[in-house]
Amino acid sequence: MIPIRDTAPCNSRPLVTWGLMAICIIVFVAMQLMPDQLSYRLIYLYGMVPVRYSNPQWAAEFGLPFDGGLSFLTSLFLHGNWTHLIMNMLFMWIFGDNVEDRMGRVPFLIFYLLCGLCATFLQWYFDPGLAIPVVGASGAIAGVLAAYFFLYPLERVVVWVPILFLPIVIHVPAIAFLGVWIIFQLHSATTAVLFEGATIDVAWWAHLGGFITGTILYRLFLRNEKTEKNESY
């Protein structure tokens, strides 16, 4: 199921949501225009390579200098391909504006980045020997989905069911749509642990880490009702 839109009203312009999306898109397009060798190098420098922090000797030999963990943050703005970018931006577009509306711009930005950092850390913790970059906003967006899950459980999500490319569109409660999403993430993450030989190209643990962080923290970032009523465009 591919989400198209939701029915939750938004009372303010989601400038932070739009800004985060713009950064991700601009960075991705710019890297597509670079020579492959330079793009490859930047992905390794600014993507989070778990073994870089688990085995500093390997990192030094590979030419990755110590960065103090900066890539845990910068990796949130990198994407592997067009599909990866488009799906992340679609989820951010649909669900980010409402969460930003309930939190306010600066708190939402802090919440987003915290979810992303914790998500990337969890991916490193469970797969410290991985020698390829972990990139993408998925972990941070998972935190946003968690907040939406609890703030708008009964709002409807309009989804397209791609059966033979027919225009089948249905409305499902957000709690059902996001509930299925988290069950799928949990299944995939545990499968990756149980079957070590499986080829995994998605950072499932980052998705779970972001969702768990969002579940724990979202209440701390909500605006009070008085502030929310006084917020203007």
Q: How many domains does the chain have?
A: 1
CATH number at residue 57: 1.20.1540.10
pLDDT tens over the chain, length 233 residues: 788 889 999 999 999 999 999 999 999 999 999 999 999 999 999 999 999 999 989 888 888 988 999 999 999 999 988 998 998 999 999 999 999 999 999 999 999 999 999 999 998 998 898 888 999 999 999 999 999 999 999 999 998 887 777 778 888 898 888 888 777 776 555 554 444 444 455 677 888 899 999 999 999 999 876 555 555 44
In this prediction, residue 202 carries a pLDDT of 60
- What dihedral angle (degrees, nearest 10) is formed by the CA atoms of 180, 223, 216, 17? 50
Task: Check if the beta carbon of residue 4 is closer than 8 Å to that of residue 156.
Answer: no
In this prediction, residue 42 carries a pLDDT of 94
Q: Which residues contact 48 (CB under 8 A, 6 or more apart)?
A: 71, 72, 75, 120, 123, 124, 133, 134, 135
Range of the domain at 109: 2-230
pTM: 0.87
